[in-house]
Each structure stands twice: as structure tokens, then as C-alpha cells.
Amino acid sequence: MSKVNYPWFKKEDIDGFFALFQNNLANFVLIAVTMISMGYPGSIVYGRVIPGAAISVLFGNLYYAHMAKKLAEKENRTDVTALSYGISTPPMFIYLFGVLGPALALTGDPEVAWKIGMAACFAGGLVEALGSLIGKWVRKNLPRASMLGALAGVAFTFIGGELFFRTYEMPVIGMIVLAIILIGLIAKKAMPFRIPASLFAIIIGTILAYILRQSDMSQIAAGMDTVGFYPPLPTLGFIEGFKYLTGPMLSLFAVLLPISIYNFIETMNNVEAMAAAGDDYNVQEAQLFDGIGTMIGSLFGGVFPTTVYIASVGSKWMGAGRGYSVINGFVFLIASSVGIIAAMSKIIPVPVIAPILVFVGLSMVSTAFASVKPKHFPAVVLAMFPYFANYVMTRFNKAAGEVVAKVSGGIVPLGNGAMFTGLIWGAILVFILDNQYKKAAFASIAGALLAATGFMHAAKLSFLSNYEYPLGYLIMAIMFFAFEYGFKDKLEKDGMLEEDVVLDFQD
């Protein structure tokens, strides 16, 4: 039997490329602006950090193109979409404000602080790679509604929701670009001259922004000034950084461990989302090479962890194959090496980029509901809620802590460890709906352990910083065991079967 002819490139890869490239570009704009505002010089930001991350992106995209080819040959089909790969957004903020900021404040030396960032990045990649050893087991035992619901919470708040806000910063431009994206990528209508919808939207939006003077022409000159030669160069500076991580900044491991485990779970969730969309990849292999990609990037100056991207499902919706992934890796490396990333970040207005990411958030939330049984819809919604708290906490608590506290004292503890909280509560509700109270009890015990050690409901790792949360989960576990062994049989005898409950809910 001949092998399937899985193409290197097809037309749909163009839309996939622009969606993935803009996803990465948006993160790198935030990285550049934030690091420079902290006091890191452009020579480190544009000359070392961005090229180093580009090496990670190239490695991951090439490897995931290879995985797509293997899956296409295994299942004898050509409609396989490669996993998207890029900077993990939530950990990116943790590394910015929890690692790079404190490192610079402690040392007062951007060069040393950058090396500490490299060491932290290498350590995070190592944790994620080791996490691959249990990835298959976790994926098998966590309900799909739990995983996709927690991921949908990220998509709804930080990606779709926040980028919808950014769309309205230039209402005329943002609305027009969003309309083009909805017509081309959701309704799948052809654009004029068969131009890919995302490229057409970027062109039209950028031109209109300057014609309508929503953007100043000086931004183009400022962008061109950043063009130069920034080749990725190998470095062992992370070794010096480890001296600080194991000395004056040992406390950073309390930040690195949970966020690295989060990254490992995010990869697992995104692989699960792709399985739901039709491409069932090996989760352990993805987690291992995510970690390896992060470590490789740190050897070239990178300071941010990478992951399977939430945009994978969006690319699947677009009908992309593996070409978009390969092109993204090489284009991103070239663009980073010659300063084009920096230039584009200044020339293209954010409200032009934002609607593309709104589409990614929209597709992710939609997939979460389309990929689970209707009776599990409530579990998807419940798993999304903690990230609403996390969004409020992340964006407003430092600037307006008293206001957040007045809204509710539960926002911050619910927001801390939101991914874990979403997974636990989503799983509990799935098990309740499936009449599996013993499993709900075990999920509650897992919640008690996570809460007791500070992975959930605490600002940092610590043992029993607040006993109320683990106690609540333990009492729930006892209650679920009681339902399993004391009341379930009686409910079934009384006619309260699972099918009856589902029908009542749907009615």
C-alpha cells in the first residue's frame, strides 16, 4: 500500500500562517514593550531575547510539522493540521513580572537579570519535558469537558475577550477588520482576488488606520529605525543565572514550579482540543518536545517558555496543513534576525491584529462545546469561571486592590491557580453528571492537595496558608463517598436514573 501524499503546502496554509504569526507577533510586541519599560536595553530585547525565542519557535514548528506527517501516514489522510507552537501567554506574564522584574530589581544589572531569566526558562522547559512522563495518564483520566472548559476560560477572557476590547480602541478600523475576519474565516467566504482573509484584513486595516489618521505616519519611521541585524547566538549565560536561582533568588522556584506545571497542562489541553477537532496527537511526545524547544531557546538567549498553541484549533478550522507551521518557523526567525518583528510591532496597529485573535478565542470556546456531550455543557461553563476571576485579579488587583476586594473577597483566591481550579471543578461536575461519585470524591481530594500546597487559591507555594480551602474539598470528598456508598443505590431504586436527570435538564 502506497503512503498518503501529504502536501508540504496548500492554499489554506496561508491563512493559518498569518493567524499563527500574528499570535506570536502580539506576544512579542508585549514582551518588547514591557521589558524595555522595565529597564532592559534594546540590545538585549531585540538582540538576544527575541532571536532566542525565534529559535524555539523554529524548532517546535518544524517538529510539529514532522508529527503531522507521521499522523497523516498513520491514518492515511491528507487533512491533518500541524499543532501550532509559540510563546505561552499566561506564563509569559509570570516570567515578565515574577522573574525578569524581580531579577532586575535584585541585581540592578540587565545583563545578569537576563541570564537569570535564561536559567528560569531552561528550568521551566525541563519541568515540562519531565511532565511528559505522566501526560498520557492525565489525559486519559481527566474528562474532556474539564480540560476543554478550563482552556475555553483562557480563550474567552485573555484571548477573545481582551482582544475584543483592543479591537474597539480604533472602532472604525477594528470593526471593519473583525467583519472581514468573520466573513472570511467563520463564514468561509472568498475575499477579493482570492487573497487570504487574514492577510486581506491586515492590509485593509493598516491602510485605513493611516488614511483615517488613526495612526501617525511617524510610526512607520520609528519602525524602520529598528531594522538591523540581530542573529541568534548560542550562549551559556544561563549557567551563571543558575547561581542566582540556587542562591539569592531561590524563592523564584516557588513561582517557576507551578507555572511550569501549568504550561505542561496547557499543552495537554491544547492537544486534547485538537483531538476533539479530529487530529489525535501523542500528548507525551508533544509535551516532551515543548520542553525541549523551551530549553533550546534558552541556549540562544530566550527567557520565555513555549507551548502547543491554543491557535491550533483555529488553524484546523481554516483547513491548514503543515506548511503554515514550517513557514511560520522560518519567517519568524528571519523577521526576528533583521528587526522586522520590532518594525511590524510599531507599524501595524494593535486593533488591526486583535480581531484575528478574537477569532482564535471564538473558535476555541466553540470547539469546547462542540466536542463534548450536551449533558456536559454545564461542566464546560463551570471550568471556565475561574479564569474570569484570574482575569480580574491579573488586570486590576494591583492597581485597584481595594475595589476588587469590595466586589468580592473570593476573586483573588479563585483566580490564583485558575487552570487547576477549572480542571478540578469541571471534572467534579462531569463525574456527578455521569453518576460516578467515587471519581468526584477523588477529584475533590486532588483539589484538597493542590489547595493545601498552594497550587490553588494561594499567591505562592506554601503549606496550609489557608486551611479553609483544602478543608472544603475534603468535606466534599466525604459527601461524594457518602453518595456513592450510601445513597446512590436508593436514588436508582427510586427512579432517579442518569437518563432521567439528563432529560429533565434538557427540558
> Which tens digit of pLDDT belongs to each residue from 74-118?
999 888 999 988 887 767 777 887 788 888 888 889 999 999 999
pLDDT digits (tens, 9 = 90+) for 164-212: 998 999 999 999 999 999 999 889 898 888 787 888 898 899 999 999 9
**Dihedral angle sign, alpha carbons of residues 370, 376, 378, 380:** negative
Q: Tell me the per-residue pLDDT of 310-340, one tens digit each, with 9 for 90 and over.
A: 678 878 888 888 999 899 889 889 988 988 8
Of 340, 368, 396, the residue at which a domain comes to its end is 368
Residue 506 has pLDDT above 70, yes or no: no
Is residue 425 a part of any domain in this protein? Answer: yes
Alpha-carbon torsion 385, 179, 319, 64, what sign? negative
Chain mean pLDDT for the chain: 85
Enumerate residues 6+ apart whose C-beta is below 8 A from 264. Answer: 127, 128, 131, 132, 135, 287, 290, 291
* Residue 211 within a domain: yes
Give the mean model confidence (pLDDT) for residues 388-402: 86
Residue 502 has pLDDT above 50, yes or no: no
Q: Which three cell numbers stand for residue 350?
A: 494593535
The H or E element that residue 308 is part of is strand 306-308
Q: Which residues contact 349 (CB under 8 A, 6 or more apart)?
A: 170, 173, 205, 206, 209, 214, 215
Check residue 461 and give its pLDDT: 77
Residues 110 and 158 both lie in one domain: yes
- pLDDT tens digits, 452-473: 998 899 887 788 889 999 999 9
335 and 277 in a common domain: yes
What are 45's three cell numbers?
530585547
Calculate the alpha carbon distances from 284 to 63, 268, 273, 288, 375 in Å. Answer: 14, 8, 15, 6, 29
Last residue of a domain, one of 368, 403, 420: 368
Are residues 363 and 382 located together in one domain of the fold? Answer: no
Contact 368, 55 (CB under 8 A): no
Do 77 and 126 sit in the same domain of this protein? yes
Residue 56 has pLDDT above 60, yes or no: yes
| Same domain as 454, residue 350 | no
Q: What is the spatial distance between Cα 248 and Cα 410, in angstroms, rounded to a whole number?
A: 33
- CB burial readout 176-192, b (16+ within 10 A) else e: bbbebbbbbbeeeeebe
Which domain covers residue 385, as residue numbers?
377-506
DSSP category for residue 376: G
The residue assigned the cell 487570504 is: 196
Nearest to 394 by CA among 423, 424, 418, 415: 415
Measured CA to CA, the distance from residue 22 to residue 406 in angstroms comes to 37
Answer yes or no: do 393 and 450 share one domain.
yes
Whether residue 143 sits in one domain with residue 41: yes
The single-letter code of the amino acid at 95 is: Y
| pLDDT band for position 48 (cuts 50, 70, 90) | very high
**388 and 266 fall within a common domain:** no
**Does residue 439 lie within any of the structural domains?**
yes
Kindly report which listed range (68-82, 256-270, 310-324, 362-376) carries the lowest average pLDDT score: 256-270
Q: How much of the chain, in percent, has pLDDT values that exceed 70?
A: 91
Specify whether 169 is located in the same domain as 33.
Answer: yes
For residue 6, tell me if it sits in a domain: no
Residue 496's pLDDT band (cuts 50, 70, 90): low
How many Cα atoms sit within 13 Å of 51 on the Cβ side?
21
- Of the two residues 410 and 350, the one the predictor is more confident about is 410
Q: How far is CA 32 from the centre of its chain?
A: 19
Total structural domains in the chain?
Answer: 2
Q: What is the pLDDT of residue 332?
A: 86
Task: List, in sequence order, every residue forming a beta bridge with 307; answer none if it has no partner.
Answer: 86
Partners of 85 in the β-ladder: 308
Q: What is the band of 220 on the pLDDT scale with cuts at 50, 70, 90?
A: confident
239 and 150 within one domain:
yes
Residue 230: pLDDT band (50, 70, 90) is: confident
Query: What pLDDT shows up at residue 29?
Result: 74
Q: Between residues 64 and 348, which one has the greater pLDDT?
A: 64
What average pLDDT does this structure show over 46-73? 92
Examine the domain organization and report whether 199 and 134 are in the same domain: yes
In the structure, what pLDDT confidence band is assigned to residue 251 with cuts at 50, 70 and 90?
Answer: low
Quickly count: other Cβ atoms within 10 Å of residue 405's Cβ: 13
Report the share of the chain in percent with pLDDT over 90: 35
Model confidence at 254, in pLDDT bands (50, 70, 90)?
Answer: low
5 assigned to some structural domain: no
Task: Identify the domain boundary among 368, 392, 415.
Answer: 368
> Is 3 inside a domain boundary?
no
Contacts of 76 (CB under 8 A, 6+ apart): 4
Question: What pLDDT does residue 499 have?
Answer: 47
Instruction: Look at residue 250 in the predicted model and tell me its pLDDT.
Output: 66
pTM over 0.85: no
